[in-house]
């Protein structure tokens, strides 16, 4: 395992311990509302602190981009860690066991190492660029299904920003009509990992943040999948509009979404 990936795994597991302890006392957790349907808890902040402490102990000069504490040292280092301490905070608050810890390391703007950890199931997804993607040390690959009527597609609903809800509902209607089903589980990092290990054949969502997709995107790519924006280009990290899947499924999914994409 690459030394930086090893540090990311250590950080994710430490944060997982913080989160699982907090999950035993959800009624006592302090919660703040950042904006409509967007929450942060003391568990988010404690988990993020745990991750950052592990990383900076190993690499004190590296930059950090984290969901809750923001950017630190950006521009001062070629190395940047992109962190979401709890992807799926709303699920966590409700005791719904679909949330994950997402940690990615980028070098000169390109993601090189990725960890997504599901503490409820103790599922650890990892990837290093050019080495492959793994679930609990077992190599994973995207699904071999390619007939859309046999494919299960993951997605995420507009929640905090509903300005594009009509556009999204048009996409959802067309995808439901052409596939075996659509699943909305509420944690984009885990949705991408589901594509990587073949639990779903594709995924699409609008308006995500870098920490939602940085780690999961590399895990998909290293599992043999493709990640694009809604036009099939590589602007997904900047726009937050992302489509992922195996090569054959991605092409068909982009065709379904195309009529609803703003030109």
Query: Taking the model in full, what pTM does it have?
Result: 0.95
Report how far residue 137's alpha carbon sits from residue 230's, in angstroms, rounded to the nearest whole number.
Answer: 32
Whether 174 has a binding-site annotation, put simply, is no
CATH of 148-260, one of 3.40.190.80, 3.90.1170.40, 3.40.50.1170, 3.20.20.70: 3.40.190.80
Percent of the chain's residues with pLDDT above 90? 82
**Residue 43: phi, psi to the nearest 5?**
-70, -40
7-52 pLDDT, tens digit each: 999 999 999 999 999 898 888 777 776 655 556 678 889 999 999 9
* 191 marked among binding-site residues: no
Q: How far apart are CA 196 and CA 217, in angstroms?
A: 9
How confident is the model at residue 38, as a pLDDT?
57
Q: Known binder of ligand: residue 67? A: yes
User: In the chain, pLDDT over 70 holds for what percent of residues?
Assistant: 97
Q: What is the CATH number of domain 3-139?
A: 3.30.540.10
What 3-state DSSP class applies to 258?
A: helix
**pLDDT value at residue 31:** 75
- Please report the pLDDT score of residue 42 as a whole number: 87
Nearest of 61, 102, 60 to residue 219 by alpha carbon: 102
Euclidean distance between CA atoms 143 and 202, whole angstroms: 9
Q: Which tokens in the block code for residue 22?
A: 């907090």
* Domain layout of the chain by residue ranges: 3-139, 148-260
* Cα radius of gyration (the chain): 17
* Rounded distance between C-alpha atoms, residue 12 and residue 83, angstroms: 10
CB of 243 closer than 8 Å to CB of 229:
yes
- Select from 87, 59, 63 the least CA-distant residue to 3: 59
> Tell me, what's the pLDDT at 36?
59
Q: In the chain, helix, strand, coil percent, each to 5?
A: 40, 30, 35
Closest alpha carbon to 51 in 95, 87, 94, 90: 87
Give helix 165-178 / helix 247-257 axis angle, nearest 10°. 130
pLDDT at residue 39, as a whole number: 62
E strands of 3-129, at which residues?
Answer: 31-35, 38-41, 63-66, 70-72, 79-87, 100-107, 110-118, 123-128
Q: What angle do CA 114, 168, 115 make, to 5 degrees?
A: 10
Is 212 labelled a binding residue? yes
56 pLDDT exceeds 80? yes
DSSP conformational letter for 62: -
Nearest in space to 225 (alpha carbons), one of 207, 204, 256, 209: 204
Q: Does 64 count as an annotated binding residue?
A: no
Kindly state the average pLDDT of the residues 248-259: 97
> Which pLDDT tens digit goes with each residue over 115-159?
999 999 999 999 999 999 999 999 999 999 999 999 999 999 987
Tokens representing 248 are 């054959």
């Amino acid at each position: 395992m690459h030394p930086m990936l090893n540090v990311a795994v250590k950080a994710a597991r430490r944060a997982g311990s913080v989160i699982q302890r907090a999950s035993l006392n959800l009624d006592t957790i302090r919660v703040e509302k950042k904006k409509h349907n967007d929450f942060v808890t003391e568990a988010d902040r404690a988990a993020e602190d745990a991750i950052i402490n592990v990383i900076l102990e190993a690499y004190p000069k590296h930059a950090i981009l984290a969901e809750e504490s923001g950017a630190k040292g950006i521009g001062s280092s070629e190395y940047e860690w992109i962190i979401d301490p709890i992807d799926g905070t709303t699920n966590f608050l409700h005791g719904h066991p679909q949330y994950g810890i997402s940690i990615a390391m980028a070098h000169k703007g390109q993601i090189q190492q990725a960890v997504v950890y599901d503490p409820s199931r103790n599922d650890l997804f990892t990837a290093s660029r050019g080495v492959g993607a793994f679930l609990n040390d077992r190599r994973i690959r995207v699904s071999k299904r390619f007939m859309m009527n046999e494919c299960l597609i993951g997605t995420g609903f507009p929640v905090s920003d509903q300005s594009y809800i009509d556009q999204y509902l048009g996409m959802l209607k067309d995808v439901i009509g052409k596939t075996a089903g659509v699943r909305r589980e509420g944690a984009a990092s885990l949705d991408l990992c589901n594509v990587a290990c073949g639990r779903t054949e594709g995924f699409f969502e609008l308006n995500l943040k870098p920490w939602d997709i940085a780690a999961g995107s590399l895990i998909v790519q290293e599992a043999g999948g493709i990640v694009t924006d809604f036009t099939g280009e590589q602007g997904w990290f900047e726009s937050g509009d992302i489509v992922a899947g195996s090569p054959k499924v991605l092409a068909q999914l982009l065709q379904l979404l195309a009529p609803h994409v703003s030109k």
